[in-house]
Chain A
């Protein structure tokens, strides 16, 4: 089992819709969780991080964490074509200071 799993996509949504990106992780003791956005040919950039169960909102983005189910998600409301990118889920395991990344989900927002 991979440590951090994401559906590779592509996930296609129409402009203005809600995009839902999902991630599961294997280390039950993981402490903190991150969503990065990566445009083609660019480096990852942080969108949000979350460490408590529940929801965390920042503008059009909402991160959701369920530690019991070992599941973290990212919702993007009012999706825009500029949101088209690869979204990487990253998890900080219980031991160590090394983020573990998922393979990423490709999101395509169609106008």
Chain B
């Protein structure tokens, strides 16, 4: 059981380039999330999805796009990379829409993807 798998782990981009961060989960979770974490900061929500075909913006969506064609996959697309997008990106998933009351229904995080834009 791999959980949440993110690729790549590290990437350096030049300003203006585009790339896709991949996220796959094998737990049949409906809810998936993309967060970014800047140094010394908490996690900021970029986009989330409540199921295949349904996505919505989070707190910091500008400069990113997502799609959810399957339950398993939730890729994050960066268009026209900017230095402000240098961050660590975490994908996470959970079973359903309630945050109560089971430990099985809390967020499972991937290992993270460290992106540098130069």
Contact = CB atoms under 8 A, between A and B. Distances in A.
Interface of A: 4, 6, 8, 31-32, 34, 42-46, 49, 51, 88, 92, 97-104
Given A43-B90, A43-B110, A103 B41 contact: yes
Given A31-B100, A32-B99, A99 B42 contact: no
B115 interface: no
Contacts of A98: 33, 45, 48, 58
B15 interface: no
Given A32-B101, A104-B40, A104-B41, 15 more contacts: A8-B40, A32-B100, A42-B111, A43-B90, A45-B109, A88-B42, A92-B99, A98-B33, A98-B48, A99-B45, A101-B35, A102-B42, A103-B40, A103-B42, A104-B42
Given A31-B99, A98-B45, A98-B48, A46 B40 contact: no
Nearest to B6: A43
B100 A99 contact: no
Contacts of A88: 42-43
B26 to A, nearest CB: 17
Instruction: Give the residue among A4, A31, A32, A97 with the most B Cβ atoms within 10 A.
Output: A97
Contacts of B33: 98
Contacts of A46: 103, 106-107
A87 to B, nearest CB: 11
Given A31-B100, A43-B112, A92-B99, A99 B107 contact: yes
B99 A4 contact: no
Contacts of B110: 43
Contacts of A97: 31, 48, 50, 97-99
A2 B76 CA distance: 26
30 contacts: A4-B42, A8-B40, A31-B100, A32-B100, A32-B101, A42-B111, A43-B90, A43-B110, A43-B112, A44-B43, A44-B90, A45-B109, A46-B103, A46-B106, A49-B99, A49-B103, A88-B42, A88-B43, A97-B50, A98-B48, A98-B58, A99-B45, A99-B107, A101-B44, A102-B42, A103-B40, A103-B41, A103-B42, A104-B41, A104-B42
